[in-house]
A and B are shown apart, each in its own frame.
Chain A
């Protein structure tokens, strides 16, 4: 009897607003502890929350992008628990009526596309951070993060393997970055995942689930889910039963341990937040947000294929991020004659070199206009593609334009028939034996002559012209 793993994911996505969810404090990452705080996010007596409408708009945009229902009236609730980095002793969240419900995301799997249901997206505020390490028995609290707006995106238990879970997360990660609703930098905690994992024998009802907390990289998520599924299967096969509990994954040891059981679970005593009236939106507001929706990755991919004739592979590569797609389109705009050449040079050359240096397209030392300048010189025959690669190396080193480098290094391609003919004659004179053999029928030697001529020209002869003239002079 084979086992089936059932996975549902809860993802906390930090919304990239300039200010916090309920006050005017900056959300900038990395400031000195407690410098981005005010009486509201410190939970001082008498202070009241005022909702950040930008955070609302970005949550609505995300909801629309997953084809969800936008609730024109949603409500905020208080989630009560004591923790030193939760200043008010409750978190403002949405419990009974979230802003977004009933959406989905289509993900690629080995068996083709699969639809993963998204139960809800609700808005809430982040807590601060407790610091224990290296403080000699005392704890410090940094409340810079307190009150930063989050979306909690809750999926249906629709995933059946760790790979599907990772595919879903990657799709979601790409989506929120495309929508520019989150930086989604996992190292900065802007995209955090909890996983609900259970196992069952195929065809049986759902098993008891364990909740895995704190999964902060795609790799750990896969490891943690696989570890947990195996743990549960072994437990059941050994005659035990899975208990409902929250488990913490330790990425260093590669195992999880129990944090708290169902009996120890918090009673959050949710109730309507009396400081915030219900959040009411008009259909017009929602429509306006929909009108501002950027092209999503799938749409871009299709358009790149149909409009520019790109291969599915190149279209996929270039639609990975909004920045990259934008870069590509800027390149095509500056070098409109050959979108495929643009795609090749961007995807294979520039990105390859940036990747080696561990950089993204946003960090490129040259602009799309500059790369287009290089491609123009290939197109008009000034330099060959081979030389162009060397020129690109120089461009990336010092940021100069292609023309300046070609000029300074004298790389201009020789396209003068007379000059090429002269070089060919010199090669013939230097290699009389090969010439005789060729004329006796060893046509393979054609390539040898091309190589010799190119060498004589120091690579600057126009290869097409060399071919053409060689043929004429050899056969003539």
Chain B
């Protein structure tokens, strides 16, 4: 039952076969059974969950259901919630309780959702494997010796293992799509500006965007329809963004006549053969469904990773300055003076990867280096944006592998940050361009899930949803579940 989609659960709630309380209990039981092994949740308070569920049942009885009435949604530890801790899986925020709900959390509550615990993630979302978490690594339910991807690893793992029917993630360079791919679920990064960033702990402000992580495409659409919308308290949330008929776009399940671009820079040497094969087969399926597949080029793709690893750390170096031990979070014991307080607090509070990025970013912004690094990276960003504009002059959507590899072993790449960074090579460019992207399952390589990535022009999420739901309907990947914990 815990592998059901949100739409299936909604039907069960509407028919009275389930209540919000019975659902919450079932998922809590599943978490109880599996979390010690998988470490997907870093905080979950059963009483709080059941209280919300009871309130939802009461609301349903008197007012009828809201869009997410009674549905448990797991929350990445990066979203501020008034209830429970918000720690961004960092020691520097250990025990931190946010004084307010993130805008997205408010929207979820208003839609009747039951907030279902906080999920594991890379510290401050900096990582691609969930190994930089201060709460220890999360494990991939398809093979528990492997990573679930990152940074939204806990959210992906929770959904894949049936510990929650859906979860919230954030995506700065692939942090929704890559773990979704590696865990065999669906995840969407909406167009930058579509979802309010208020109350989401910032990593790289010009790239961060929250999105849904679910089992099915339709579920992604349902959750996105609640999450997205203008917030006047976020100046980068776009007020007059073109509306999307989220659920309507999925209902069509049609890609006849769709022009799909296959960017040659996303099919490269060094990719896992199994990944390549699965994606090629998916492309073939799309052809059979009536799409036209066209070879296109995004020539500046090879520079995307380098540009990203200048821009994101630069912004992060400033965003993380507020963790100084003065007002909240960790403060070192008995500091001798101000400098000692700053240095020891931050040395003790931040993990190695976070420190590496703060230093990288501070260096890139330093006087004398700014032009060579930050400014040049911004120029690359402009070129990458233009690449996409040119491609979209010829095609409606782009189709690529989400990750060049399947889930790797825990510890396999931790000593080699550069190889780790290259795992993001297919997901990063569209963050730099602000475009929407969705990853969905498209098969397996050696028993590990492979993800298929759809990319659309800004604000055209509906194109992605129509195509991805058509592909999903034509395949049976949705029904595949990991053996972990039995069914």
Report A's interface with B, CB cutoff 8 A.
Answer: 39, 42-51, 78, 80, 82, 84, 87-90, 141, 267, 269-271, 274-277
Contact = CB atoms under 8 A, between A and B. Distances in A.
Contacts of B314: 271
**Chain A interface helix/strand/loop/mixed:** loop
B338 A84 contact: yes
Interface of B: 80, 86, 88, 93, 96, 98-100, 102, 197-202, 204-206, 232-236, 314-315, 317-318, 320-322, 324, 326-328, 338, 342, 362, 365-367, 370, 374
19 contacts: A42-B327, A44-B98, A45-B98, A45-B201, A45-B202, A46-B98, A46-B197, A48-B198, A48-B233, A48-B236, A49-B235, A78-B318, A80-B317, A82-B324, A84-B326, A269-B318, A271-B370, A275-B236, A277-B235
A87 B325 CA distance: 11
A89 B315 CA distance: 12
A89 B321 contact: yes
Which 6 pairs show the lowest CB-CB distances between chains A and B?
A89-B321, A274-B205, A274-B206, A269-B365, A46-B199, A45-B201
Nearest to B93: A45
B365 A48 contact: no
Contact of B80 (A43, A46, A141, A270): A46
Contact of B366 (A88, A267, A276): A267
Contacts of A42: 327
Nearest to A79: B318
Contacts, number: 96
A48 B201 contact: no
B365 A80 contact: yes
A44 B318 contact: no
Given A44-B322, A46-B98, A50-B235, 20 more contacts: A44-B98, A44-B99, A45-B86, A45-B202, A46-B102, A48-B198, A50-B234, A82-B324, A84-B338, A89-B321, A267-B367, A269-B318, A271-B365, A271-B370, A274-B206, A275-B202, A275-B205, A275-B236, A276-B235, A277-B235
Contacts of B236: 48, 274-277
A51 to B, nearest CB: 7
B362 A269 contact: yes
A270 B326 CA distance: 23
B198 A269 contact: no
Contacts of B98: 44-46
B96 to A, nearest CB: 8
Contacts of B320: 89
A45 B322 contact: yes
Contacts of B317: 80, 269
B321 A80 contact: yes
Which of A80, A89, A270: most chain B CB closer than 10 A? A89
Nearest to A23: B233
Contacts of B235: 48-51, 275-277
A271 B374 contact: yes
Contacts of B197: 46, 48
B233 A50 contact: yes
B337 to A, nearest CB: 11
A271 B318 contact: yes
Contacts of A141: 326
A50 B231 CA distance: 11
A284 to B, nearest CB: 19
A275 B365 CA distance: 17
Contacts of B324: 82, 84, 89
B367 A46 contact: no
Contacts of A270: 365
Nearest to B315: A274
A48 B201 CA distance: 10
B207 to A, nearest CB: 8
B467 to A, nearest CB: 31
